[in-house]
Amino acid sequence: MNFAPLPSVDAAAVPSDGFVLDVRENDEWAAGHVEGALHIPMSDFVGRFGELTEAAEDGRRVHVMCRVGGRSAQVTQYLVQQGIDAVNIDGGMQAWDGAGRPMVTDNGMPAFVL
């Protein structure tokens, strides 16, 4: 079987108003995340898929994020198979942080990548 290459984007190239889906676990999210991102841990993803389809119903591109890009690649592949315009963020949160992109926490503590 031939698999199309997974669509991916560099962390520095994600638009500042882009729609980010974070599939990391709760402890990783709490340490630091992209402001305005939708958080659905990969472990909950299938059960909460409707939340994503609602959020992306306008057809906008979904930028999928994890820590280094492995889990998000799996989720991106699934989304593409469902006909959703999804791209994997190469290097995940580590690349996002390395590119100097902003991160926030829900508790006001300094954000970091767990």
Active-site pick, 23, 66, 73, 86: 66
Strands, sheet with 86-90, edge to edge from the N-terminal-most edge strand: 8-10, 86-90, 62-65, 19-22, 38-39
Catalytic status, residue 66: yes
Active site residues: 66
